[in-house]
Structure 1
Amino acid sequence: MKTYTSNLKGKRALVTGASSGIGAAIARELATLGVDLVLTARRHDALEAVAATCKGVKVEIVTADLGQPDAAHALWEAANVTGPIDILINNAGFGYFRRFDEVDWARDAELIQLNMTSLVALARCFVDTRKAKTGPAYMVNIASTGAYQSVPNMALYAASKAFVRNFSEALHDEHQGTPLSVTCVCPGGTETAFHAASGGGDYSWIANASTKRPEFVAHAAILAMLCGQRTVVPGLFNQLSTFGVRLLTRRFASRVATQVLGQPRFELPARSTT
């Protein structure tokens, strides 16, 4: 695994979706670099547990549900009370593994709000704030390998991540040569609670073989951020798959995705309100 050097000590980072998985791993990775943290998610107790593992830095907790309208602006105001944000990690998101017509609109509306609208709102707040400041700043948006193709049974989730990828890459290009760097991270399968919450799990050996630990993804994300990369796909197998779909017709790539991910579980877990 590659290592990196940085001068981030004393900087402040806002990490969304920081209560578990990739978000928690990124928070811990930033803490090792001396970055003070503002952690946010819906579960206060889980955030406290993550905060306890981020040693040697100041950690603030802001409980927020970014699946709700206008939550992003309230979060941004709360995060900036004790100082400016230098690093924005847009990690919060969720998906479900079901046919589009088998899921109620309320869950779809929340997915759109969380995966796209709140991400854009926070990005806008960050960009607007950085106009009046000097020094390097970093935005990292977490997308998915699903951003590279359509994914049956995850139609809306994959489409939302395609949006995140295109949006992030455009922002990167717009800010080329400025102190603000924007990086898009496109993980494949990762060992997090996402799979159980999405109703997935009946995956092929290919999907299981390419699954990475959240710490692996977090390290790749921060390394790419510090190197000013436009987009990074963590893991060789995932890099090969996202490149390989370019050689297939879009219809055939969609069929391959169906075979790799298998069939949805019988029951889709309820979306937690905590």
Structure 2
Amino acid sequence: MSTSTSASVGKRALVTGASSGIGAAIARELANLDVDLVLTARRRDALSAVAATCNGVKVEIIAADLGKPDGARTLWAAATANGPIDILINNAGFGYFRCFDEVDWARDAELVQLNMTSLVALARCFVDAHKTTTTPAHMVNIASTGAYQSVPNMALYAASKAFVRNFSEALHDEQSGTPLSVTCICPGGTDTAFHAASGGGDYSWIANASTKSAEFVAQATLRAMWRGKRTVVPGLLNKLTCFGVRFLSRPLASRVATHVLGRPRLALPVRGEV
């Protein structure tokens, strides 16, 4: 039995943004490791479809909107009603590919709530629940390679992910030496519905070459989680990009990001979760 498999026995995980993309892929990987699941997102039908692919484990689905101010604590109460949560995957989030002043403030407020405030609220619930724990517990917060620099046309999204990265790394260090591990995952472009939902642009060859599947990111995420890693960037090209940006001035890094991501599309679809 592998270390990850033995560590997963008897565990129960809460995965947010589990209706598609990285969240759904992580749910399936956890199910393969015999981890029972609580899956949440806004769309119950999509959650049910993902749950049907998670064989051999107990799966609960909770339709919830973490873009609402009271969403996180309501979700936590529902998720823990039938037992403790040993693994928290803070994956829910969304972004848009537009100039800041072209998007309605209500959408920005929802982004801040979902990407940051609800993530922090769930993290607090999880940490409080494991203050006296003696068995391993794991928190994973999904950030982005955008956390390493400013990203024009994704100004608020990238800033929110920089927050997630810094917050997660600080929690990791605070919890050092305890049974609770905190890992930050910073994916680059991933082949999910995020790009269509964000109104993504005409990406350069670099962006396309570095794009990974949701399954690749999910597997990298769980390897990092079981090993108690601090921060992991899945994919060699993404790693090189995040390492290399430290040698550029911040204005130059911002211009490079603009070139890599190309132009926004003309129409901005309705919000999608990743």
* Class of the TM-score when normalised by the shorter of the 2 chains: over 0.9
Question: Equivalent residue for 2:66?
Answer: 66
Question: Equivalent residue for 2:24?
Answer: 24
Per-residue displacement from partner, 1:29-49 (whole Å, max 9, x unpaired)? 000111000000000000000
Measured after TM superposition, the shift of residue 134 of structure 1 is 2.1
Measured after TM superposition, the shift of residue 5 of structure 1 is 4.6
Q: Distance in 1 between matches of 2:29 and 2:9?
A: 12
Contact 1:175/1:181 (CA < 8 Å) preserved in 2?
Answer: yes
Contact 2:10/2:35 (CA < 8 Å) preserved in 1?
Answer: yes
CA separation of 1:174 and 1:36: change in aligned 2, threshold 3 A: same
Per-residue displacement from partner, 1:168-219 (whole Å, max 9, x unpaired)? 0000000000000000000000000000000004101110010000000000
Q: Distance in 2 between matches of 1:74 and 1:134?
A: 26
Question: Equivalent residue for 2:178?
Answer: 178
Q: Distance in 1 between matches of 2:38 and 2:270?
A: 28
SS where residue 115 of structure 1 aligns? helix
SS where residue 7 of structure 1 aligns? helix
User: What TM-score do the two structures reach when normalised by structure 1?
Assistant: 0.97
Residue identity over aligned pairs, in percent, reads: 80
Per-residue displacement from partner, 1:83-105 (whole Å, max 9, x unpaired)? 00000000000000000000000
Question: Equivalent residue for 1:142?
Answer: 142
Matching residue's letter, 2:244: G
- List aligned pairs for 1:1-274, cutoff 5 A: 5-271=5-271
Per-residue displacement from partner, 1:16-65 (whole Å, max 9, x unpaired)? 00000000000000001110000000000000000000010000001100
Size of the aligned set, in residue pairs, is 272
Q: Distance in 1 between matches of 2:76 and 2:144?
A: 24
Contact 1:67/1:113 (CA < 8 Å) preserved in 2?
Answer: yes
Measured after TM superposition, the shift of residue 240 of structure 1 is 0.2
RMSD: 1.4
Contact 1:6/1:226 (CA < 8 Å) preserved in 2?
Answer: no
Q: Distance in 1 between matches of 2:270 and 2:82?
A: 36
Measured after TM superposition, the shift of residue 131 of structure 1 is 1.2
SS where residue 10 of structure 1 aligns? coil
Q: Distance in 1 between matches of 2:231 and 2:160?
A: 16
Q: Distance in 2 between matches of 1:199 and 1:191?
A: 14
Per-residue displacement from partner, 1:81-140 (whole Å, max 9, x unpaired)? 110000000000000000000000000000000000000000000000111332000000
Matching residue's letter, 2:77: E
Q: Runs of 4+ in structure 1 displaced over 4 angstroms? A: none
SS where residue 65 of structure 2 aligns? coil
Q: Distance in 2 between matches of 1:72 and 1:100?
A: 26
CA separation of 1:7 and 1:154: change in aligned 2, threshold 3 A: same
User: What TM-score do the two structures reach when normalised by structure 2?
Assistant: 0.97
Per-residue displacement from partner, 1:125-168 (whole Å, max 9, x unpaired)? 00001113320000000000000000000000000000000000
SS where residue 139 of structure 1 aligns? strand
Per-residue displacement from partner, 1:202-248 (whole Å, max 9, x unpaired)? 10111001000000000000000001100000000000000000000
Q: List alignment gaps of at least 5 residues for structure 2.
A: none
Measured after TM superposition, the shift of residue 9 of structure 1 is 1.7
